[in-house]
Amino acid sequence: MSRPTPRTPSPPPSSLDPAVAGRLKRNADGLVAAVAQQYDTGEVLMLGWMDDEALHRTLTTGRCTYWSRSRGEYWVKGDTSGHFQWVKSVALDCDGDTVLVKVDQVGAACHTGDRTCFDSGQLALDG
């Protein structure tokens, strides 16, 4: 009988503070949602995914590090695009399943080149 292959590769052991790691409620892939928000305007920029190591790197380097589900690797926002996210603060929500990263965004946050990933327009409300 063959074993199923995991959805994401096992990340290296993390140096994330055990007290923080203990508060995280990860999805089946070991990830938590990470919302990036412009620190001074409150503008919601994007949603990415972090595991323990990505969060540790974000907290220790001052630059947002995410886990790319499509590429199966870590990426630091701005390394290839030049559109950096400089971390101002990090907070964990009450359930432990979402991280709010307040950043100073330099350039576009979205891979499409838009300022935010939510620039494609509002959805109409029924009623």
- Residue 54: give the domain boundaries: 26-105
**Predicted pLDDT at 122:** 76
pLDDT attached to residue 120: 75
User: Residue 71: inside a domain, yes or no?
Assistant: yes
- Give pLDDT tens digits for 4-57: 544 544 555 678 889 999 999 999 999 999 999 999 999 999 999 999 999 999
Q: Is 40 annotated as a binding residue?
A: no
Most confident range, picked from 4-8, 98-102, 122-126: 98-102
Residue 93 is assigned to a ligand binding site:
yes
Higher pLDDT, 47 or 121: 47
- Is residue 95 annotated as involved in ligand binding? yes
Does residue 61 fall inside a structural domain?
A: yes
Task: Kindly state the average pLDDT of the residues 95-111.
Answer: 95
Residue 66 phi/psi, 5-degree rounding, is -120, 165
Task: State both tokens at 51.
Answer: 């595991």
- pLDDT, mean over the chain: 89
Q: How many domains does the chain have?
A: 1
State the CB neighbour count (10 A cutoff) for residue 77.
26
Question: What is the radius of gyration, based on Cα positions, of the chain?
Answer: 16
Per-residue pLDDT at 80 exceeds 60 = yes
117 assigned ligand-binding residue: yes
The model's pLDDT over 55-66, given as tens digits with 9 standing for 90+, comes to 999 999 999 999
CATH number of the domain enclosing 82: 3.10.20.810
> What is the distance between the alpha carbons of residues 8 and 22, in angstroms, rounded to a whole number?
21
52 is in an annotated binding site: no
Percent over 90 (pLDDT), the chain: 70
Tell whether 110 is in a known binding site: yes
Query: Is 39 inside a domain boundary?
Result: yes
